[in-house]
Amino acid sequence: MGALLLKKIRDKINTSLSNPLVKSMLIVAVIGVLIKAIAFYKETIIAGSFGLGTTIDTFLVAILVPTFIQSVFINSLKNLFIPNYIAELKNNGNKGSFQALIILITIGISIVSCIIAFFGTDLFLNLVYSEFPESYYPLIKAQLYFVVPCLFFWGISSVLAGLLEVSNRFLVATLAELFPLLTMIFFLIFLKENFGHMVLAYGTFAGSIIGLIYLLFFSIKFNDFALSKPVMNKNSRMMVRQLPPKISSSFLSAMNNYIDQFFVGQLVIGSLAALNYGNRLPAFGVTIVIMALGSVLLPHFSRLVNEDLRSAYNQLFRTLKLVLGIGLILIVIGIFMSDWIVELWLERGEFTHQDTLKVSGIQQILLVSVPFNLCTLVMVKFLTSINKNNFMAWISLANLVLNIVLNFILIKYFDVYGLVMSTTIVLILGSLFYFSYTYKQFKKIQ
């Protein structure tokens, strides 16, 4: 009986691994774990070097606006580019023309973003971080001037990674994320004494360039990158029409983090770094699953909805059940082991045991939201593939308003812990709203 059960399990595993979709997810997941392990090591070096002090706080502020722009504009463009580019290829369209158009839009967004970031720095700092010591502001601006140009490299890299993913070259595309991490570790170990407080900004700049060179090399090698004269057609017009609601949705979602940064900026020094560290483990789980599912599922859903919409919905619901079930089990384990994980990971040098307890408390609260957040992100990929971006803009607005209200109420009583309570509540309610809408869309095709 036991031998028969083992044989069934083995056969099931072999069948799953023979599925190209599962194989692609597994490849991305394994590389994702490696990337996040290296990222954790990088954070360990940073924590031991700087604790919860000035360097890490000022760098997180300096990189806030560029990463905000990346998540709102660049990632939105990539998510819209992939399904419409697949439709272009399916209709035997001009892929070079489509690629040229997306590159031009990306460059335009990067230029405008850099101008805004450079000239709006003082207003941003005075508005959001007015309580910071005066010594922080010159250091923030000095780092910002090296981080902002990275938007060009991130934008082009995003397009090239998307091209590789459409061609099912997930291993090559995912490995690109290793280079910025390895570059940062190199800078921290060998160049920290030379660059001082600027080492994180310099490492980010160098890593962005190396990552772009890597993606460009393989995109050209595999003939995935081919530019020609940009021309608007049916698919490109659909992409451009969907861009405003998609950007609006991404903007409003990203604003939740911006609002949180505003509130934490009013708290005691070190709260920003504590929040950053406390979000690392929850973000680890989210990133790994989204790297494995999101990168693979968006091209997959984009192809499937053009062939069999009902089958696409059924696959979505099976994925959601699996993600929620496994996520809940792992999160319970993570909550109970939170203190030990933070102590093992960060507690050394300038990082004290009191810092460990603070970061662990933040981490435990955020872990509760992870399974729901994962389900939301999977549904967002699906809704993007069927161009349902208007709804996502409205739900993002509702989440933002709710987050602001809860921040005002909960921070008053629970300090930085109230902020993460607010985030967790918003993510859970948002997931329920997304599922309700998605299920209603499914019922319409019955």
Break the chain into its structural domains and give their ranges: 31-444
pLDDT at 18 > cutoff 60 = no
| Average pLDDT estimate for 325-332 | 84
Q: Would you say 164 and 171 are in contact if contact means Cβ atoms under 8 Å apart?
A: no
Which pLDDT belongs to residue 213? 94
Q: 404-431 burial, b for 16+ CB within 10 Å, e for fewer? A: bebbeebbeeeebbbbbbbbbbbbeebb
Please calculate the CA angle 90-96-101 and round it to the nearest 5 degrees: 100
150 class by beta-carbon count within 10 Å (0-12 exposed, 13-18 middle, 19+ buried): buried
pLDDT above 70 covers what percent of the chain? 83
> What's the CA dihedral at 423, 428, 434, 436 to 10 degrees?
-150
Confidence of residue 88 (pLDDT cuts 50, 70, 90): confident
pLDDT at 19 > cutoff 90 = no
pLDDT at 15 > cutoff 70 = no
Instruction: Dig out the tokens for 328 from the structure.
Output: 């809940």
pLDDT in tens, 208-267: 999 999 999 999 998 888 888 887 877 778 777 777 887 777 777 777 776 776 676 666
Which pLDDT belongs to residue 52? 62
Q: Which residue type occupies 445? A: I
Q: Would you say 159 and 106 are in contact if contact means Cβ atoms under 8 Å apart?
A: yes
pLDDT at 9 > cutoff 50 = no
> pTM score, two decimals?
0.70
Q: Is 274 left (phi over 0), alpha (psi -120 to 50) or beta?
A: alpha
How many angstroms separate the CA atoms of 435 and 375, rounded? 8
| Average pLDDT estimate for 40-49 | 79
- Ranges 83-87, 167-171, 350-354: which has the least confidence: 350-354
pLDDT in tens, 285-307: 666 666 666 566 667 677 777 66
| Average pLDDT estimate for 4-10 | 49
Mean pLDDT of the chain: 79
Please give the residue that has the higher pLDDT: either 221 or 411. 221
pLDDT at 14 > cutoff 60 = no
Which pLDDT belongs to residue 169? 85
pLDDT at 123 > cutoff 90 = no
pLDDT at 49 > cutoff 80 = no
| Average pLDDT estimate for 8-13 | 49
